[in-house]
Structure 1
Amino acid sequence: MLLGPEGSSSVIMSLSLVGKMAITGVYQLIWLYSTELFPTEYRSMAVCQGMFMGYLASISSPYINDLLGELVVWAPSTVFGVSALVAGAVALILPETRDSHLPELSSLRDKPTKESLKGKTGQELSSSV
């Protein structure tokens, strides 16, 4: 069944639908995670770049399937599986953000220095930070 079309059609259909359901669920989780991953000022650009890469992958996947599928039957599944495993391994490198303060702005901007805050009252200080 794994290497050819000889398997039962109901088993193939069931596995196909379960796979499609899993892909849809993971896609929604990626949207939720990616919007919380980036600071507010870069969020839209980062999500758009992620969408572009997803669209590029969905455009190229039929070509990978057709070209590699003619050479070796198991090659397209291997390419897609290895790329998913690499993406999962890279995602493990990302820091955990549960119960931590996430900045609204990037840390690349100039933060106020002690010299610029000297002589300001508490109200002025809270409005400048």
Structure 2
Amino acid sequence: MRKVSKVIVALAVLTLMCVIVGVNGEKIINAIGFQYLDERELYNAGEFKVDILPANVHVDGYVEGRLFSVYVLDKHNLEHFKKGESFTAVYSWENINYVKLNFNTTENLYIVVKNELNEREWIHFKVKASR
């Protein structure tokens, strides 16, 4: 019976940690000041994915695929983008197959990669953000 109790407690602690990180992920990433992403993912037609970039970091990396767009947005404009409304990007590269990223952030920003094809495509997204 004791082993079961220990397992339940361990699972409860692990679950609580996951919830805390999930809720405060943006604050944790910003406090650490470092992020490394190396993703090669299959995007559906018109699909986009969002990653956070911490404040006051240098962003270096690249994105490559067949036809995609990349937007760097603040939180306000990200909400407009998600709703399909007009938005203003801090940086944008539209309908491209490769982009080299090299810029600095002064606030928390969001990088959006969107598949512009009418079919699925693999997009490779490799970025390092560090102070």
Q: TM class by shorter-chain length?
A: under 0.3
TM-score scaled by length of structure 2: 0.26
Larger Rg: 1
More strand by share: 2
